[in-house]
């Protein structure tokens, strides 16, 4: 091990990634493809990643699709171009595989909004309730969860629970409110949220719709209810992508993290996609955690096989059941 690599490894807990110089003349796409073959590795990338990472990935998807792919892959190494809870989910589903995350500090504001020790005390106040947790939560929170869900399968999960069974829904209060409205179920909601989906401006979107009267306004259910109420279509990231591909609309105002627009443009090159504006002048509709991953960090993590995601055995054993139940319900629903 070189002195530079030794120092970068020592600094990994502080930095979150291998802080090494990458030769600017290196063909990163070619190098990453070489490493995939040499390491028998698969790259799973979320739709919110930078377009260059999406283009080099073996599978691109939303939380449900990525979970399904993580469970099915026969690769020795799973490289997760996403955020921390996604890589944790992959490790829980494939505990004997090596799971890498380009930057350990690629976290999630929604997952952070629901610390497991605090939620445990919250749960104790509602005995007899079943816990459904949005998959955007920590591995430890999954140990306190009966069934996970994604925005794709959330309605199916809720509908699969007997009507007389009380439910706690965590951690996303906006998704929970949307589910209450859609399913008619009265659920106890944990008050968590995603910083990206809470930033969209109703006023600016209204002005944008006046400017683009032929455009469809589409939104992710993590957005606040006043945004969802004016949307032409509400759905998961994959649902939004399908809607733009299959509908007759030629213009779309998109209220979710704008990384998805790359796939929308690839699927419908003749259509126009406008990212919904945030309520200030910054690029706050971009997830800063998702954007921590870069091609350089992806290359370095594959070259040196770190940083690696590890979880205590008890977390895997107690948490994986909630994901398995979700995947089973999704299979039965044909998702």
Residue 134 assigned as binding residue: yes
Q: What is the DSSP string of 175-194?
A: HHHHHHHHH----EE--B--
Residue 51 assigned as binding residue: no
Tokens encoding 288: 């800063």
Q: How many Å is the maximal CA-CA distance in the chain?
A: 62
| DSSP helix/strand/coil, 305 | coil
Residue 63 assigned as binding residue: yes
Query: Hunting for tokens 């104790």 — which residue is that?
Result: 124
Query: Hunting for tokens 């200030």 — which residue is that?
Result: 280
Residue 33 assigned as binding residue: no
Residue 151 assigned as binding residue: yes
Residue 237 assigned as binding residue: yes
Residue 221 assigned as binding residue: yes
Residue 136 assigned as binding residue: yes
Residue 2 assigned as binding residue: no
CA-to-CA dists, residue 267 to 25, 169, 261, angstroms: 31, 34, 10
Helix or strand (DSSP H, E) at 67: helix 63-72
The answer to whether 82 and 298 are in contact (CB under 8 A) is no
| Binding site, annotated residues for [4Fe-4S] cluster | 108, 194, 287
| Binding site, annotated residues for iminosuccinate | 46, 63, 134-136, 151, 220-222, 237
| Binding site, annotated residues | 46, 63, 108, 134-136, 151, 194, 220-222, 237, 287
């Amino acid at each position: 091990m070189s002195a530079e690599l030794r120092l970068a490894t020592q600094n990994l807990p502080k930095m979150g990634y291998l802080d090494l110089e990458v030769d600017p003349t290196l063909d990163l796409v070619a190098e990453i493809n070489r490493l995939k073959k040499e390491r028998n590795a698969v790259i799973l990338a979320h739709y919110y990643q930078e377009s260059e990472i999406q283009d080099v990935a073996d599978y691109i998807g939303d939380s449900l699709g990525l979970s399904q792919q993580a469970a099915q892959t026969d690769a020795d190494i799973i490289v997760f171009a996403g955020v921390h809870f996604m890589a944790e989910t992959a490790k829980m589903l494939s505990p004997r595989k090596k799971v890498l995350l380009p930057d350990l500090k690629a976290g999630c504001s929604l997952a952070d909004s629901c610390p497991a020790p605090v939620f445990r005390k919250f749960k104790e106040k509602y005995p007899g309730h079943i816990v459904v947790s949005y998959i955007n939560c920590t591995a430890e929170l999954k140990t306190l969860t009966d069934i996970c869900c994604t925005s794709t399968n959330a309605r199916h999960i809720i509908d699969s629970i007997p009507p007389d069974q009380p439910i706690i829904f965590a951690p996303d209060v906006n998704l929970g409110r949307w589910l209450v409205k859609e399913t008619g179920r009265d659920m106890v909601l944990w008050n968590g949220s995603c910083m990206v989906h809470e930033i969209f401006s109703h006023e600016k979107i209204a002005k944008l719709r006046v400017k683009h009267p032929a455009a469809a306004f589409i939104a992710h259910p993590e957005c606040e209810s006043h945004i969802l109420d004016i949307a032409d279509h509400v759905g998961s990231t994959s649902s939004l992508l399908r809607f733009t591909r299959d509908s007759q609309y030629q213009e779309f105002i998109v209220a979710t993290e704008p990384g998805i627009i790359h796939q929308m443009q690839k699927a419908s090159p003749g259509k126009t996609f406008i990212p919904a504006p945030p309520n200030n002048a910054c690029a706050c509709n971009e997830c800063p955690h998702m954007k921590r991953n870069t091609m350089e960090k992806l290359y370095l993590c594959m070259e040196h096989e770190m940083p690696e995601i590890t979880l205590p055995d008890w977390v895997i054993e107690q948490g994986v059941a909630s994901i398995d139940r979700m995947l089973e319900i999704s299979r039965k629903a044909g998702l």
